[in-house]
Chains A and B, each alone.
Chain A
Amino acid sequence: MSWAWVEVKPNENDLMHPGHLACQGCGATIAARLALKVFGKNAVFVIPASCWSVIDGAWPQHALQIPVFHTAFETAAIAATGIRAALDMKGRHDVHVVAWAGDGGTFDIGLQALSGAAERNENIIYITYDNEAYMNTGIQRSSSTPLGAWTTTTPDERPEDRPKKNMMEILAAHRVPYAATASIAYPDDFIRKLKKATQIKGFRFIHVFSPCPPGWKMASNLSVRVARMAVETKVFPLYEIEDGEVYTITHWPRGLPVEEYFKLQGRFKPVLKDPERLAYVQRYIETQWERLVRLHEASHGYLPEEARATIRSAI
């Protein structure tokens, strides 16, 4: 036992019931379980149309032991704002209002409500579990779909040719007090960020990477491994932005080649077959990473020892 989770102990009770309707190996449910460990019973979830509307169970069932408000696709942030205002009126300032949306409801459809709430600095926590496409409607491309990925609307003959929308930059541009990325494969990191978020007042945004085995064309048991590989290959860096200015990389990846991540999934088959495209994707990831490292350096004035290895490989 050379390592143990610090923030999560296995003897606790969960606030999520089994028997929910997620597919096998769903990353979004792992994210919700971990998040509920931080919020406890004192939270309200606002779930727009997304996988989680289904996962939570068909009427009259419910998988979480906290109140959930199911709302329309584009209204997660604004519904949460309303609930927050109502709770504040009732003097319930201790309750966390959490907008729990998928990537479609955040990156595309819910963007205007999100932008409004962020700009007004509403006192809510917005968590987006990102599975990189519209999964429960049949794997259609969203603006979160990464470069080179297959979806039913970006088929193998013409895979996604635009990079993933950089949601964190959009939020940083709103100068929100706290925005962070997290991954289900790093529970300690995720929970630390959630804990930090609960202690801040204002608009807080957490972007959780949560793999989708059916949509990513992989076996359900690889869910967590894929999430880990996404971080270690620098595809999905773990970092946080405070006040839209201070960038901190919270986990320094090993900097593995991107194939290590791609080869676990069926959706990147067209890229893996095309070395030119693969090199392009790798180059894109390197430049994005280098940019992030420079922002970290600019925020803190120095780079830790671990950073060196990851940058050298970029050149």
Chain B
Amino acid sequence: MAKKYDFKASELPISPMTLTTTLENPTGGWRSFKPVIKNKTAPCTATCPTKVLIPHFIDSLVKGDLDMAANLLHRNNPFPSITGRLCHAPCELPCNRGKYDEPISIKQLERFVGDYYLDRKGKPPRRETGKRVAIVGGGLAGMSAAYYLRSKGHEVVIYDRNPNLGGYLRYYVPEYRLPLAVLDAEVGALERMGVKFVLNTEVGRDIGFEELKEKYDAVILAHGSSIPYTPDFPGVDLLKSGWDLMKEVREGARPKVSGKVAVLGNGYTAFEVARVLRRLGADPFVVYPTAKIRIPFSDREIFTLAEEEGVKFFFAKVPLKADRRDGKVILTVAEWDGKAVVPATEREMEFEEVFLAYEGTADHGFLPDTIRSNGTLKADRRSGETPLEGVFVAGESVSGPSPVVNVIYSGRSVAAAVDAYLRGRTYTPENMPEVVGYERIVTDYFPKAPRVPEMRLSPAERIHSLTREEVLGYTQELAMKEAERCFNCGFCNACGNCYVFCPDYTIKWVHGRPKVDYEYCKGCGVCSEECPRGVIDMVKEREF
């Protein structure tokens, strides 16, 4: 039998003294909710058609890492210098900061980072896959698809009928909106990445569609909606083309136009033609088919600019007839209620010239009947898949005239679908995690600060130049100042609040990021409450 006691009294602990630490209490058992650190989607990213990682790139910008900011930005938007000038910025509408003071000037920050990186980007992919992709049309959609497919390592060849890439942006958008140098730099980046261009070659005329299909593993149709739409009313052939005017002006010509002129159109092109005419010295009137409040959000900015510059508008009117009398054009317009002409509202108006500036339509003539139906293409909006295997459609050729950022997204998502197809995988559209609402932002941590205004020329300055850029970009100092206002909704930027305020020291700092020690976390929720940007959620674990 063992001894009753196998120790001496002197070996007993001295009772009032500490012998061990509280690490022996796994207080995690007290918990009924557990904190989960999980990045979410900011409202700006959720609204952006191409899902630019806005809080991520702004955070890198604040930390001074411009290259990282550019990398994050380019992950979902290949051409920030273009969107930074032409995008209608839907991201700024739901900005949580807008509910606090003023929204972040995301567009200007994008432009700043894009311009910084413009000459640096364009690295060839690390490894080649050996697959070949042809892209029909070197407009924005084709360029966007080419950027992503090339960065995935595929060989990309762009066919374009024009002598250079860029499409509408190169040949029509005026210099004061988008300097040619910016577009050239973006094209140069594609070239450096190893994208091949076959220019002055129209598919259907110089090379057959079937031939392309045979030569390449996949074909992306991104021929856009580049054929100006011409309405059908008597005397329409007497009118001039606004598209041609924009093209001439972009190429450097300065045609003489003066007096009262009218612009007939239904979208961006109409506003832009009117602004070009204003700069050429004319007094333009835009005849627009819908009411002022029905101008789509994507055209609001350009409408405001045009209005500031003195362009006049006839809203909810459609042209019925045009006639030429004594060298003047007599245009008959009538009220349009959205469906039909309102009877007895016809009115004759006299103009020096009338320009047609309707949005473009797509010409699918070179394509086989199997993927066409009633003038549109049979294609999935997101992946661009068509009934023909290995043939995809991107951009305005399927969606019709769209804002630049939607076109870029189309190119990007189709590129992802093509990449999946070439690798024999199934394409899964990206999913966005939960969006962070304003109620999750702890505004106490953010002092109020006004938005850094963008430097835009005054209307009087603007109408004197067709080449001077109308909006000047931020300097680095201003960009930093603006970036610091960002809440970084839903993006953990390692501010350290959860660590500082944890009453239990259970938020550990591992590789510069917070990590919850669930063995001891009591689930008080202070970290979740004090996270300024709603990254930490409390998840129900059990009930007592």
Residues of A within 8 A of B (CB): 1-5, 8-11, 14, 16-22, 24-27, 29-30, 33-34, 56-57, 59-63, 65, 68, 184, 187, 213, 219-225, 228, 232
Give the complex CA separation of A293 and B430 in angstroms: 56
Kindly report which residue of chain A lies nearest to residue B499, judged by CB atoms.
Answer: A10
Contact sample, A vs B, 20 pairs, CB 8 Å cutoff? A1-B484, A2-B486, A3-B445, A4-B496, A8-B500, A9-B496, A18-B22, A19-B21, A20-B504, A24-B525, A25-B526, A29-B503, A29-B504, A30-B526, A33-B505, A57-B25, A61-B24, A184-B501, A221-B525, A224-B526
A residues in contact with B470, CB < 8 Å:
none
Give the complex CA separation of A213 and B525 in angstroms: 12
B residues in contact with A16, CB < 8 Å:
505
Asked if residues B529 and A224 are in contact (CB atoms below 8 Å), the reply is yes
A residues in contact with B15, CB < 8 Å:
59
Give the complex CA separation of A27 and B18 in angstroms: 24
B9 within 8 Å of A (CB atoms): no
Among the 9-residue stretches B235-243, B316-324, B348-356, B514-522, the one with 4 or more Cβ atoms under 8 Å from chain A is: B514-522
Q: How far is the CB of A285 from chain B (nearest CB, A)?
A: 19
Asked if residues B526 and A220 are in contact (CB atoms below 8 Å), the reply is yes
Kindly report which residue of chain A lies nearest to residue B488, judged by CB atoms.
Answer: A1
The residue in A16, A21, A220, A228 that gathers the most chain B C-beta atoms within 10 A of its C-beta is: A220
Near A by CB (< 8 A), chain B positions 476-490 give: 484-486, 488
Asked if residues B520 and A18 are in contact (CB atoms below 8 Å), the reply is yes
B23 within 8 Å of A (CB atoms): yes
Give the complex CA separation of A1 and B514 in angstroms: 15
Residues of B within 8 A of A (CB): 13, 15-27, 30, 59, 62-63, 442, 444-447, 484-486, 488, 493-497, 499-506, 509, 512, 514, 517, 519-526, 528-530, 538
Give the complex CA separation of A60 and B494 in angstroms: 36
A residues in contact with B30, CB < 8 Å:
24
- Which listed residue, B20, B488, B494, touches A10 by the CB 8 Å rule? B494
Give the complex CA separation of A27 and B21 in angstroms: 21
- Which listed residue, B485, B503, B512, B523, touches A30 by the CB 8 Å rule? B503
Asked if residues A25 and B503 are in contact (CB atoms below 8 Å), the reply is yes
Beyond A19-B21, A228-B444, whether A30 also contacts B501 by CB under 8 A is: yes
Asked if residues B495 and A1 are in contact (CB atoms below 8 Å), the reply is yes
A residues in contact with B16, CB < 8 Å:
59
B residues in contact with A232, CB < 8 Å:
444
The residue in A14, A24, A56, A225 that gathers the most chain B C-beta atoms within 10 A of its C-beta is: A24
Asked if residues A14 and B505 are in contact (CB atoms below 8 Å), the reply is yes
Give the complex CA separation of A14 and B504 in angstroms: 10
Asked if residues A19 and B524 are in contact (CB atoms below 8 Å), the reply is no
Give the complex CA separation of A115 and B256 in angstroms: 93
Q: How far is the CB of B103 from chain A (nearest CB, A)?
A: 15
Give the complex CA separation of A18 and B517 in angstroms: 9
A sample of 16 more A-B contacts (CB under 8 A), given A1-B495, A19-B22, A61-B20, is: A2-B484, A2-B486, A5-B500, A10-B494, A10-B500, A11-B509, A24-B524, A25-B503, A26-B524, A61-B18, A68-B18, A184-B501, A219-B525, A221-B525, A223-B524, A225-B530
Asked if residues A62 and B18 are in contact (CB atoms below 8 Å), the reply is yes
Give the complex CA separation of A228 and B522 in angstroms: 22
A residues in contact with B538, CB < 8 Å:
221
Asked if residues B530 and A27 are in contact (CB atoms below 8 Å), the reply is no
Give the complex CA separation of A297 and B420 in angstroms: 70
